[in-house]
Amino acid sequence: MTVSAIEGVGEVEHVLDVRGLSKVYGEGETAVHALRDVDFSVRRGEYVAVIGQSGSGKSTLLNMLGCLDAPTSGRYLLEGLDVANLDERQQAVLRNRQIGFIFQAFNLIPRTTALANVELPLVYAGVGRRVRRERAEAALSLVGLEGRSDHRPNQLSGGQQQRVAVARALVTTPALLLADEPTGNLDTASTTDVLGLFDRLHEAGRTIVIITHDDEVAARAERVVVVTDGRLTEAARR
Amino acid sequence: MSVIEIVRFAMRGLIANRLRSLLTMLGIIIGIAAVILLTALGNGASVYIQSQIAGLGANSITVLPRQPPETAGTDGRPLTSADARALADPQGAPDVASVSPVVTLSATTAAGRATSDVTVVGSTPSYFSGANVQMGTGRFYTDADVEAGRKVVLLGRTVADDLFGAGSDPVGQNVLVDDVPFLVIGTLAPAGQGQGLSNPDENILAPLTAVQGSLTGFGNLSQIVVQARSTEAQAAAESEINSILDRRHGIDGVDARDYQVISARQLADVLDQTLSAFTLLLAAIAAISLVVGGIGITNIMLVSVTERTREIGIRKALGAPPSAILGQFLVESIILSVVGGILGVAVGYAGTLVPLGDFRPVILPAAVVAAVAVSAAIGIFFGAYPARRAARLRPIDALRRE
Ligand SMILES: Nc1ncnc2c1ncn2[C@@H]1O[C@H](COP(=O)(O)OP(=O)(O)OP(=O)(O)O)[C@@H](O)[C@H]1O
Ligand SMILES: [Mg+2]
What is the rounded distance in angstroms from the CA atom of residue B314 to the CA atom of residue A123? 14
Tell how far the Cα of A63 is from the centroid of ligand 2, in angstroms: 10
pLDDT, average across residues B10-37: 91
Burial (CB < 10 A; 0-12, 13-18, 19+), residue A39, is: exposed
Above 90 in pLDDT, residue B50? no
- Provide the shortest C-alpha distance from residue A185 to chain B (in Å): 16
Which residue has a Cα nearest atom 25 of ligand 1? A54
**pLDDT, tens digit, 9 for 90 and up, residues A31-52:** 999 999 999 999 999 999 999 9
Residue of A30, A35, A58, A65 to mutate, ligand 1, most atoms within 8 A of C-beta: A58
What pLDDT shows up at residue A13? Answer: 81
**pLDDT, tens digit, 9 for 90 and up, residues A50-64:** 999 999 999 999 999
A121 touches chain B (CB under 8 A): yes
- Is domain A44-71+91-234 in CATH 3.40.50.300, yes or no? yes
Ligand 1 site: residues with CB under 6 angstroms?
A: A 25-26, 32, 34, 52, 54-60
What is the rounded distance in angstroms from the CA atom of residue A137 to the CA atom of residue A170? 12
Q: Are B79 and B221 in contact (CB under 8 A)?
A: yes
pLDDT, average across residues B151-167: 92
Q: Are A140 and A148 in contact (CB under 8 A)?
A: yes
What pLDDT shows up at residue B266? Answer: 78
Q: Which ligand is nearest to the CA of A34?
A: 1
CA-nearest residue to A105 within chain B is B399
What pLDDT shows up at residue B55? Answer: 66
Determine how many CB atoms are found less than 10 A away from the CB of residue A131.
10
What is the rounded distance in angstroms from the CA atom of residue B72 to the CA atom of residue B246? 14
- Residues in A closer than 8 angstroms to B311, CB to CB, are 109-110
What pLDDT shows up at residue A1? Answer: 45
Burial (CB < 10 A; 0-12, 13-18, 19+), residue A62, is: buried
pLDDT, average across residues B253-279: 83
What pLDDT shows up at residue B162? Answer: 92
pLDDT-above-90 percentage for chain B:
52
pLDDT, average across residues A123-146: 93
Tell how far the Cα of A102 is from the centroid of ligand 2, in angstroms: 13
Q: Enumerate residues 59 to 78 of chain A having a beta carbon within 8 A of any beta carbon in chain B.
A: 63, 66-69
What pLDDT shows up at residue B131? Answer: 82
Q: Do B315 and A69 touch (CB under 8 A)?
A: no
Q: Do B314 and A124 touch (CB under 8 A)?
A: no
**So where are chain A's domains?**
44-71+91-234
Reduced to 3 states, what is the DSSP secondary structure of residue B258? coil
Tell how far the Cα of A34 is from the centroid of ligand 2, in angstroms: 11
Q: Are A212 and A183 in contact (CB under 8 A)?
A: yes
What is the rounded distance in angstroms from the CA atom of residue B41 to the CA atom of residue B322? 46
Above 90 in pLDDT, residue A184? no
B205 Cβ neighbours under 8 A, 6+ residues apart: B121, B122, B123, B127, B133, B141, B153, B154, B188
**pLDDT, tens digit, 9 for 90 and up, residues B204-231:** 999 999 999 999 988 899 999 998 888 7
Tell how far the Cα of B272 is from the centroid of ligand 2, in angstroms: 74
- Starting at the earlier edge strand, list the strands of the sheet with A14-25: A32-43, A14-25, A73-78, A81-82
Above 70 in pLDDT, residue B234? yes
Above 60 in pLDDT, residue A141? yes
Q: Enumerate residues 356 to 395 of chain B having a beta carbon within 8 A of any beta carbon in chain A.
A: 394-395
Q: Are A226 and A233 in contact (CB under 8 A)?
A: yes
> Whole-prediction pTM value?
0.74
Q: Tell me, what's the ipTM?
A: 0.91
Instruction: Please give the C-alpha separations between residue A14 and each of A8, A116, B204, in angstroms, as whole numbers.
Output: 15, 33, 110
Above 60 in pLDDT, residue B72? yes
- Residues in B closer than 8 angstroms to A95, CB to CB, are 316-319, 395
Beta strands in A44-158 (DSSP E): 47-52, 73-78, 81-82, 99-102
What is the rounded distance in angstroms from the CA atom of residue B290 to the CA atom of residue B374? 9
- Cα angle B139, B145, B146 (rounded to 5 degrees) comes to 120
The pairing of strands B152-155 and B259-263 is unpaired
Burial (CB < 10 A; 0-12, 13-18, 19+), residue B386, is: buried
The most confident of the ranges A85-94, B55-64, B351-360 is A85-94
